[in-house]
Amino acid sequence: MKKLLFTVAIIVLAFISNAQPPEGDAKVGEWYGEKVANTTEALNVNDVVAKLNGGSEFPEVKIKAKIIEVCPNKGCWLKLELEDGSNATVKMKDYGFFLPLAAKGKNVVIDGEVKLKTTSVAELKHYAEDAKKSKEEIAAITKPEKEVRVTAKGIVIVD
């Protein structure tokens, strides 16, 4: 019985410690996930989005963008600034890594896939809950949205 309680206690502690974004300052040169090589080849995220809207596909691309929001619960998603006032959502491939909150406002190069996706109401509400939006703001989400979705294999802070 003691072994069972000890095991449960360890699992609970591991879960609690995992439910936080990683600590760190997100300094230039720090990388998360797979190491991103040759950042000079990165395309501007707005150029990629324009080509996506024109029918192009980007299953493997490096993009440069500015992070405007980091999931405050785990650092498990990001929002990128787009020039038209909208944003792109970044999720980490296989939920394999997270970014610290200090990454907000930083310019990054992301190695991964970029595509247009329709995001369900349930997923939009989940993002709103993670971002600590009010109950009224969450209740106002009633329609799925088309969005630019990035699945990141690796991210490096560039400035």
**Closest to 22 measured CA to CA, from 112, 92, 127:** 92
DSSP 3-state percent helix, strand, coil across the chain (nearest 5): 30, 35, 35
**What's the angle, vertex CA 138, arms to CA 76 and CA 82, rounded to 5?**
55
Structure pTM?
Answer: 0.81
CATH assignment of 2-157, among 2.20.25, 2.40.50, 1.10.8, 1.20.1050: 2.40.50
pLDDT (0 to 100) of residue 16 = 47
**Which stretch of DSSP H or E encloses residue 80?**
strand 77-81
Question: What CA–CA distance (Å, rounded) separates 91 from 1?
Answer: 40
pLDDT along the chain (159 residues), means of 10: 58 53 86 93 96 91 97 92 94 95 97 94 91 92 93 96
pLDDT (0 to 100) of residue 73 = 87
Q: Would you call 157 helix, strand, or coil by DSSP?
A: strand
pLDDT (0 to 100) of residue 23 = 81
Find out whether 80 and 88 touch, Cβ atoms under 8 Å: yes
pLDDT (0 to 100) of residue 24 = 80
